[in-house]
Structure 1
Amino acid sequence: MLEGLQFFPVTPFTPAGTINPEVFAEHVRTGLDDGAGGVFVACGTGEFHALSLDEYVQLVHIAVEVTNGRVPVFAGTGGPLPMAQQFARAALVAGADGLLLLPPYLVQAPPAGLVAYTEAVASATELPLIVYHRGAARFDVESAVAVARLPQVVGLKDGFGDLELLSRIVLGIRSALEGTGKPFLFFNGLPTAEATVPAYRGIGVELYSSAVFCFAPEISMAFHQAVTKGDRAFAERLQQEFFHPLVALRDRVPGYAVSLVKAGVRRRGLDVGGVRAPLVDPSPEHLEALQRLTDNGLAICAGKAAR
């Protein structure tokens, strides 16, 4: 199962707009060396919505090859049901260890429909499945328990931030699975998750994905160590001086949860290119703001390490 920080690599594109396999391999390799506890390829930060099946297979294969069993590799799937099933089967062939099920495309489905959607994707592959509770995939307690009981569903990742609902879902699933021996994972999947990690830990959700890890692993790891060891003062300083301002910058333009991260990776020296439409790359003004925030966060971490 998964532990530690979860790494969601970006998808590098060449100037011609094609996948850059060498840069992607380096991106994954660097993330492993920096301490990633799991690799989630071709998910939200990896622009799953903009990938062809061939590109997806290439990315999953590279991640599996580079990782070489050091940590689990999960691949994204989702969208229209036939597409989600096709990508799920392809991930199995490419060697992935599991799947993150992203929301179905466009429609707002009732909870019972989400259960049926999850069942249909799970039936297409042998891989374990983590369900993403966000966007058009809003589960209630009953439907969350129903999908948790499916043999292949091993986790739920929350991207809504409704802690009252999530608390009821967590307790409902734990109660339903009690005595079964089935392990089940809960994730904080909000963009810039570090801004809410202490709140999530308060209801027993300790795993989280870190988009910042893509471009500033020093900051992500320092924060993770602080919350794990109970260094509240340092964790709150990073929240106040880096993560919360980053959230404010991220919220200025739709899609910046991906394109700011990708820009951050470029600014740290890895040429991953820009984002694909309909996302847009950050403006020069926002790039400068990102650089200032990153420099400040790195300085805070360096000062902490020097003491």
Structure 2
Amino acid sequence: MQLDGVLFFPVTPFDTDGNIAFDVLAEHVKHGVSAGPGAVFVACGTGEFHALELGEFERAVAVAVEATGGRVPVFAGAGGSVASTKQFVRAAERAGADGILLLPPYLVTNPAAGLVRYVAEVAAATELPIIVYQRNNARFTPETAVEVASIPNVVGLKDGLGDLDQMQRIVLSVRAVLDKPFQFFNGLPTAEMTQLAYRAIGVELYSSAVFCFAPEISLGFYQALRSGDTALVNRFLFEFYKPLVELRDQVPGYAVALVKAAVRANGLEVGGVRPPLVDPSEEHVAALEKIIAAGKALLA
């Protein structure tokens, strides 16, 4: 399975009682898929995987699969301890997911060799394709990245560290020895800001949180990037993405909370975020709306 295009990471809507609003999730996914993403990644970082219990996770994945209707692949998040990760992977299988985004194990600081064991044990528990997410305490060396990439059902590596020197060595090492299709992804928050640099080291794919609330902006940037329209790319970066990142960085967790606020501002009641995240202040929401308006003005 080879992915292409902008990757859509929907939020997980909650109602006023704090429960998942599954009907709103279906509407959110259908609207996103109609805009033409390359894949849907449900209940991942933007979807607050960390705050979901197993039963609601499984139903959320099933709702996303049904709403997508087979038009693009659906990947589901999974991570944590080996035992709980296997439970979430099996739940994603039952729900009809096409693949797994394997998030880092929690809390522990682990050697790279232990991380290889973690991926191998999870991969052995499923036949689903797995994209491994490198970030936080999940850090690979070029050698261990080759080991992980060589696991039969591991099909990709998503980078959330931003160490381009290390990532270049990983890309070169994996491509030198692997004899199967394998893809690399830019998984930094607001990945558009760094995608020019990632493209230069051979990483073409990236996740777009902006696609959740303004797919037209996300796709406009993507098309400018693909066509080599450097002037327009730089305008998007300076007039929209840079202010968005500066606002995002004011409060930890805003990489999720601001996205959710922007979806609400578009009229879809997805609720707030679950603890330990916090919702944006009114002042920050107002600033966000101005930033989005500036981004949409560029589409003219």
1:12-43 Cα shifts (integer Å, max 9, x gaps): 00000001011000000001111111000000
Q: How far 1:124 sits from its partner (Å)?
A: 1.2
Counterparts of 1:67 and 1:242, CA distance in 2 = 29
Q: Does 1:129 align with 2:127?
A: no
**Alignment equivalent of 1:236, drawn from 218, 228, 234:** 234
TM-score, normalised with respect to structure 1: 0.96
Match of 2:140, SS? coil
Structure 1: which 5+ residue stretches go unaligned?
none
1:141-165 Cα shifts (integer Å, max 9, x gaps): 1111100000010000000111100
Cα RMSD after superposing both structures: 0.6
Q: Does 1:161 align with 2:162?
A: yes
2:148 is matched with 147
2:212 is matched with 214
Q: Does 1:73 align with 2:74?
A: yes
Counterparts of 1:289 and 1:109, CA distance in 2 = 40
Contact 1:238 1:297 in 2 (8 A): yes
Match of 2:185, SS? strand
1:110 is matched with 111
1:32 is matched with 33
Q: Does 1:283 align with 2:284?
A: no
The aligned amino acid for 1:211 is A
Q: Does 1:268 align with 2:266?
A: yes
2:251 is matched with 253
1:47-97 Cα shifts (integer Å, max 9, x gaps): 000001011001110111111211000000001111101001111111100
Q: Does 1:294 align with 2:292?
A: yes
Counterparts of 1:82 and 1:235, CA distance in 2 = 44
Counterparts of 1:18 and 1:248, CA distance in 2 = 31
Q: How far 1:239 sits from its partner (Å)?
A: 0.1
1:200 is matched with 198
Counterparts of 2:277 and 2:67, CA distance in 1 = 28
Q: Does 1:19 align with 2:20?
A: yes
Structure 1 stretches of 4+ with a deviation exceeding 4 A read: none
Q: How far 1:245 sits from its partner (Å)?
A: 1.1
Match of 1:196, SS? helix
Among all aligned residue pairs of Structure 1 and Structure 2, give the percentage whose two residues are the same amino acid.
63
Counterparts of 1:282 and 1:120, CA distance in 2 = 39
Counterparts of 2:222 and 2:89, CA distance in 1 = 31
Counterparts of 1:170 and 1:198, CA distance in 2 = 16
1:226 is matched with 224
2:5 is matched with 4
Counterparts of 2:67 and 2:46, CA distance in 1 = 19
Q: How far 1:299 sits from its partner (Å)?
A: 1.1
Counterparts of 1:284 and 1:3, CA distance in 2 = 37
Counterparts of 1:260 and 1:82, CA distance in 2 = 32
Q: How far 1:285 sits from its partner (Å)?
A: 1.1
Structure 2: which 5+ residue stretches go unaligned?
none
Match of 1:209, SS? strand
Counterparts of 1:49 and 1:209, CA distance in 2 = 18
1:270-301 Cα shifts (integer Å, max 9, x gaps): 10000000000001111111011001111111
Contact 1:61 1:94 in 2 (8 A): yes
Match of 2:100, SS? strand
1:237-285 Cα shifts (integer Å, max 9, x gaps): 0000110111111111100000000000000111000000000000111
1:188 is matched with 186
